[in-house]
Amino acid sequence: MKCIDLTITAQAPLAIGQRKPSGSVSEAMDYIPGTVIRGAIAGKLLQHGKPEAGDDFHKLFIDEGAAIFQNAYPAIAKVGDDEYMVSPGEIKVLPATALSSKTDSGFKPKEAGVFDALIDSFCAREQGLFYEPNSKEGDRVEPFSGFYSCSEEVMHGDGMPVIRYFSHSVSKRLLTRVGINRRRATAQDEILYSLEVLNEFQGKAKQNPTVYKGSILIDGDGVAEGLYSLIEQNGNRFRLGGSASRGLGKVKLDPNLKDADESTAELSQRLDKFNHALYARWQKWGVLGSGSSFPKDCIFFSIGLESEAILTENWQRTFAFSAAMLSHLTEFPGSKVTLEMAYSSYGYRSGWNAAWGLAKDEALTTAMGSVFLFSVPETDKLNWIEKLAELERKGIGDRTSEGFGRIRVCDEFHQIMREEPV
């Protein structure tokens, strides 16, 4: 499997969103969905495709093993009063269990810090205790969501690396437009609407272009190289989002072709560290609670959504990821799976299919950042590592080729405890 990393630099405001029902303002999303990138590249491929490009088009967009176009998240972070940086690392989604001070929310060193409550909540419940988290100083906390990255560039005086966390977000503005009478080609009376757009620059000085990072996963070396060449040759000719005829949506795409990491070693390390942290925390809560022993015949793992997911169970839409759904997706029904905890919410997502000229059906989605904690028998550990690694590559639920259903197993952020917020 090949991976094309995309660095998307905005050169004009981006109108990426959906119109609210019975409203006159179109709200912009905080990122570029994979379905938008997929549609833009498909249009460019059809426009510049060669006679033999038909097979590639089917392999990329139609066949069962179609390419996966992941969402592109903001890569620019504020590091000073009007200073910004583009993160060189991976842009991640904060889990729903991340918490920060209500009055001083945000990452250190400027704010009070952020920590995670998944492991503490589970251990407290299993020990028969009620857990209401607060900050180390005793302040009230609330969920802290968004995108983040971390860097080890900051050094102590002793030369030891320090991991620093950065929040990623983009500013927006409203553009007001007048409706046009198609027959007279003049302004239409009483037709006024506003578009919320993502700014092409960040900061007051407007010297920091807005940058997003995403990826495309492709099976087949030849198809991947062909798509890479198309993007590289036409990087300055793409437009993303709506209102392109009004001058919006112009971007520059910089691709980087590489081999996708299909190894299970990194996931195995994450799983071991997660269970070690959970065991250590269990022992501390046992002093206060019932003192029940840790279930050593089980292994625990979390599944966090790095993008929205469209889930179906028993032919019905749902926003809960159940143990039965996990067993079905992994095709591993012989292993007993238990859903221990769930932190999830829902939303709705629609869109526009340019090829059909029709609006897409509105879909019930599970919100990005949702977290589900599972346990399975320890004897099945190796098999589960392979199955979970495959789910990380392919995603869960429907329309995964459009960026929906991307997951991360045993996110390291769950190991950041209340005593040491970041």
| Distance from C-alpha of 27 to C-alpha of 365, rounded to nearest angstrom | 18
| Distance from C-alpha of 303 to C-alpha of 35, rounded to nearest angstrom | 23
Ranges of H-type helices in 309-420 = 323-330, 381-394
DSSP state for residue 15 in the 8-state scheme: B
Residues 6+ apart with CB under 8 A from 133: 99, 117, 120, 121, 141, 418
Distances (CA, A) of 32 to 10, 24, 40, 49, 153: 11, 22, 12, 24, 28
pLDDT in tens, 193-219: 788 899 999 988 778 899 999 999 998
pLDDT in tens, 262-273: 788 999 999 999
pLDDT of residue 191: 77
pLDDT of residue 231: 93
pLDDT of residue 334: 67
pLDDT of residue 54: 56
Check whether 173 has a pLDDT greater than 60. yes
Model confidence at 138, pLDDT cuts 50, 70, 90, reads confident
The order of strands in the sheet holding 186-198 is 17-19, 25-28, 186-198, 172-181
| Distance from C-alpha of 132 to C-alpha of 358, rounded to nearest angstrom | 47
Q: Residue 119's CB: how many other CB atoms inside 10 A?
A: 25
Mean pLDDT of the chain: 88
pLDDT in tens, 113-135: 999 999 999 999 999 888 899 98
Ranges of H-type helices in 101-185 = 118-126
Residues 6+ apart with CB under 8 A from 281: 119, 120, 123, 417
**Short-list 104, 16, 118, 165, CA closest to 372:** 118
pLDDT of residue 51: 45
Q: What mean pLDDT is predicted for residues 42-48?
A: 84
Ranges of H-type helices in 62-191 = 118-126
| Distance from C-alpha of 282 to C-alpha of 69, rounded to nearest angstrom | 39
The string over 87-103, giving b where at least 16 C-beta atoms fall within 10 Å of a residue's C-beta and e elsewhere, is beeebbbbbbbbbbbee
Residues 6+ apart with CB under 8 A from 388: 267, 271, 301, 303, 330, 409
Check whether 88 has a pLDDT greater than 90. no
Contact between 301 and 274 (Cβ < 8 Å): yes
Strands 186-198 and 92-93: unpaired
281's torsion region: left (phi>0), alpha (psi -120 to 50) or beta?
A: alpha
Alpha carbon 397 to its chain centroid, in Å, reads: 15
Model confidence at 158, pLDDT cuts 50, 70, 90, reads low
Alpha carbon 331 to its chain centroid, in Å, reads: 25
DSSP state for residue 108 in the 8-state scheme: T
Residues 6+ apart with CB under 8 A from 195: 15, 25, 26, 28, 174, 175, 176, 177, 242, 243, 248
Q: Residue 111's CB: how many other CB atoms inside 10 A?
A: 16
pLDDT in tens, 288-345: 877 788 888 899 999 999 999 999 998 899 999 999 999 988 887 667 899 999 999 9
Q: Which of helix, strand or coil describes residue 353?
A: strand
Between residues 156 and 409, the one the model is more confident about: 409
159's torsion region: left (phi>0), alpha (psi -120 to 50) or beta?
A: left
Q: Which two tokens stand for residue 190?
A: 């009483």
DSSP state for residue 139 in the 8-state scheme: -
Number of H helices, E strands in the chain: 7, 28
Q: Which of helix, strand or coil describes residue 48?
A: helix
Name the pTM for this structure.
0.90
Work out the end-to-end distance of the chain between its first and last CA atoms, rounded to an integer number of angstroms.
35
pLDDT in tens, 211-241: 999 999 998 778 899 899 999 999 999 999 8
